[in-house]
Structure 1
Amino acid sequence: MSQAILSLKNATIYQEDKVVLSNVNLEVNRGEFLYIIGKTGSGKSSFMKTLYADLPLTEGTGHIVDFDLETLKENDIPFLRRKIGIVFQDFKLLPDRSIQDNMLFVLRATGWSDQNEMERKIEEVLDKVGMKNYAQKMPHQISGGEQQRVAIARALLNDPELILADEPTGNLDPQTSVEVLDVLKKINGNGKTIIMATHDYALLMKFPSKTLKCEDSKIFEVVQRTV
């Protein structure tokens, strides 16, 4: 098994017919924590969408969690997404069912069938994000920060090799953002690779890590200035 969990070579990322990022060369090793920064519209989300195959990679080569993005077939996409946990800015919890049932929905959709195994797994991931006692709550009964913790737990259900977090603190206040980042950092400390798109520079200062910037259709590493 190679060390690189993600490798892009001479990749060009398109949104419809428009070039968003060109000549992307990037390697992310297992266990890394990587920030993607840049202004709104600079290509962060298109970059993330390419990684979980919401946008096709039509130019250059790309490998992610042992899948080839260039030759990926439509019916491979669900299998790719089982190896990747995705955390969105707007949580994407189903509002008509409890936290427990949100989790069950994902497990059933990804091929789980044993009820006891499913319940054990749900308890395990909720415990990891400090939400074990909230399983019977409805999404509207918990705060935004708690909903994002649940969304992170949901991303862990299939024990993914890689977590993609697209502006996970974008809808949260600064204190809650720090708490959510703390959860992600702990998960990373347990060996999970995390790529996080953000424009929250305060978080970068508080939790420094390798950082890539999207600007002028390019993506490049930036060195954080330390005071």
Structure 2
Amino acid sequence: MNESILSLEDVAVFQQENMVLNDITLEVRRGEFVYLIGKTGSGKSSFMKTLYADLPLKEGKGEIVGFDLKSLREKDIPYLRRKLGIVFQDFKLLPDRNVNKNMEFVLRATGWKDQAQIDNKILEVLEKVGMKTKGFKFPHELSGGEQQRVAIARALLNDPELILADEPTGNLDPQTSVEVMKVLQDINKSGRTILMATHDYALLLKYPSKTLKCDGNKVFEVVQKAV
């Protein structure tokens, strides 16, 4: 049941020719909620980018949602990303179309054809994040928290095995951060695995979970002390 969804062995992360992180060996199991913490510039984003193949894995062994990152070919990257839900700090919604059309764009780009199935799927994911009634709104008509909920809904469209959330609360105020966090917690409780990069330590205290830390060119698990 609790099989590995991400495993890295002796991995080094490069940004162009520069080695950002090295000697990473870790595992994330299906159904876990895992934080990735570390100061700005400690390599969290580069680490995430390596996981969704925005940066190539040049050194070490890495497997994610059944894909081998080392031998991954360019043409397989879209298939890998379909099994990953990626949530960015700055939402990355298309400003020229409403929420429903943002969702439809992703579904059509990933091979969905049937309009009724598309509409049902959009409604289903928006409902999960409490945005069912906002589908006709454009991104600029939504608050930051609402935009991030939509971005999370978008990440759920293809039923990903693993959600990579890169500072999903980075642009939000504390109250909204907690609301977005609750959405992520609910998604995790429904059985989805989440790896969330954050430097919001208040959230870690409020929702303690397995924590990886980026520090001194390494990524390692931190044991949280009982308060």
Partner AA of 2:224 in structure 1:
Q
Query: Does the 8 Å contact 2:164/2:196 carry over to 1?
Result: yes
**Runs of 4 or more consecutive aligned structure 1 residues displaced over 6 Å after TM superposition:** none
CA contact (8 A) 2:2 2:31 kept: no
Q: Contact between 2:56 and 2:70, CA under 8 Å: does it hold in 1?
A: yes
Calculate percent identity across the aligned residue pairs. 71
- Aligned pair count? 227
SS in structure 2 of the partner of residue 81 of structure 1: helix
- Aligned counterpart, 2:204: 204
Paired residues for 1:1-227 under 5 Å: 3-227=3-227
Provide Cα deviations, 1:36-71, integer angstroms capped at 9, x if missing partner.
000011010000000000000010000000000000
Letter in 1 for 2:6: L
Letter in 1 for 2:60: G
Scaled by the length of structure 2, the TM-score of the pair is: 0.99
Amino acid at match of 2:131: M
* Amino acid corresponding to residue 36 of structure 2 in structure 1: I
Which one-letter code corresponds to 2:48 in the other structure?
M
| RMSD between superposed Cα atoms in Å | 0.9
Structure 1: 5+ residue stretches without partners: none
Gaps of 5+ in 2: none
Q: Distance in 2 between matches of 1:72 and 1:152?
A: 26
* Structure 2 residue matching 1:70: 3-state secondary structure: coil
Q: Distance in 2 between matches of 1:26 and 1:215?
A: 15
Which AA in structure 1 matches 2:143?
S
In 1, the alpha carbon distance for the partners of 2:139 and 2:181 equals: 20
**Secondary structure of the corresponding residue to residue 113 of structure 2:** coil
Shift of 1:121: 0.1
Give the CA deviation at 1:224.
1.9
Distance 1:11 1:112 in 2: 35
For 2:67 and 2:220, locate their aligned partners in 1 and report how far apart those are by CA, in whole Å: 24
Counterpart secondary structure, 2:112: coil
Q: Which amino acid is 1:52 matched to?
A: Y
Q: Is the 8 A contact 2:43 2:214 kept in 1?
A: yes
Q: SS where residue 93 of structure 2 aligns?
A: coil
